Amino acid sequence: MSVGVSLDQQWARIRGRLKEEVGEIAYRSWLQPLSVASLVGGEVRIVVPTRFMRDWVLTHYADRIRALWSGENPEVQSIDVIVASTNPPAALVADNDDIDDDRASPAPRGPSPHPASRPAPRPAPPSGASARPSGSGEPASYYGNASQAASTVYTSASYGGASDESPNAVPAILEDRSDLSAALDPRFTFENFVVGKPNELAHAAARRVADATTVTFNPLFLYGGVGLGKTHLMHALAWQIRKNDPNRKVLYLSAEKFMYQFIRALRFKDTMAFKQQFRSVDVLMIDDVQFISGKDSTQEEFFHTFNALVDQNRQVIISADKSPSDLEGMEERLRSRLGWGLVADIHPTTYELRLGILQAKADALQATIPLKVLEFLAHKITSNVRELEGALNRIVAHAELVGRSISLETTQEVLHDLLRANDRRVTIDEIQKRVAEHYNIRVADMHSARRARAVARPRQIAMYLAKQLTARSLPEIGRKFGGRDHTTVMHAVKKVDELRATDPSFAEDVELLRRMLES
């Protein structure tokens, strides 16, 4: 039986019921991408974009869909969920008069046509293909399978939008992949990456993924604080993959640019081009994924892009400043997917690693720097590698420009502002240790659930000092105190402020602890 309007109308009513039952988020994630293909011999055939989605629908929704459809049409006895073809057409062109997702139709297969300066006519749907009723408001498929939708040709000639002289021309929304991918720093290679205990797991995992001929970990998720080497490893991965196989399509960009491209695609109603471009690569690398926290639409598109690539056995590599489980403002389903493969963290640097980085950097600069200067810098600048390298660049530049030799005295003089800033930095661990010693309790009590005043009051003081002496946010402070909520930290700060105002002895204790930590 070929698909007719009545079958589409039945499916539209069923989807309306499902949306009411499962809620907006679950519906958009798992049910909106489904489309009906045919009804033959009492069996409805439903099309999904990926194998992962097919398995999920069969497990969680198949029985309910069959029951609802039997109520709509007694002829329906069973349903079959199949995966749509993922072979993209050689070239995709957007029709300016029919660009909405809910009117997308299959593009013709065959040889790649020569890029044209005007939109190509959209072909009629093939016999037996599902056609949505006009004005349904639903996209043909949220995933935007390339074989099911038309899109913009990625050519530099068409990029930049339509000219004033040709109002009917269609702007090319997305850039060519070579332009979209961020520039790689030639200094950031595996050969220039100094390996130590804090980063050895992340380095080994990155090397394994870069050199593997098959997908080993998917995704590879690298995380660590600012300036600890995440971006260096990401660039090194991209360089090595391209070196091993120049034909592999590697797309490396920041999460911010991913969001920017998605917003542009929405603005110009060209999401099909966006989907095709990001889902046709062999390796997708997204840096600083925490940037999309709290941005629901971008997260949803990234979620589906991620699933589509993993389903096709394409490599995904992600970096962030926190582990997937600690990414605030990120949907639970996305956090779960990001932790699916291998999560490798980069710890704060040790003295030995900082010294090794300084020595490697000095060799690269071909500068003669006394060992005691390098040791001094490794001891004093502990925050991040980027700041450490910046300090070394400053003293080398000063020596070259002023003509003075590098010594411990000139280093202290040139870096006086940086050294003073680092001297003022205090960690939450140090605060907890010092407060615990002062009140004669265990450091473990700072993380425990004990509420006795002998433990709770010092814990509140430590939270207060962490808020005053560090740049950590309230949720971050709460996590360092046994996973407490940020409202607990707010209460502790307020309570300590009140006690300081009414109890001089208490205020003196807190001030003494502050001076000890800042000294």
Binding-site residue set for ATP: 227, 229-231
d(CA 305, CA 307): 6
Residue in the block written with tokens 């003022």: 424
CA dihedral 296, 298, 302, 304 (to 10 degrees): 70
**Three-state SS for 403?**
coil
How many alpha carbons fall within 13 Å on the CB side of residue 505? 0
**Assign residue 294 a region: left if phi > 0, alpha if psi is -120 to 50, beta otherwise?**
left
Cβ-proximal residues to 122 (8 Å cutoff; 6+ apart), any chain: 95, 98, 105, 150
Number of Cβ atoms within 10 Å of the Cβ of 455: 18
Residue in the block written with tokens 């309910």: 64
- 344: nearest Cα among 220, 503, 506, 177: 220
d(CA 311, CA 51): 7
Beta bridge pairs of residue 98: none
Residues marked as binding? 227, 229-231
The Cα-based distances of 10 to 6, 70, 78, 80, 485 in angstroms read 6, 10, 15, 16, 48
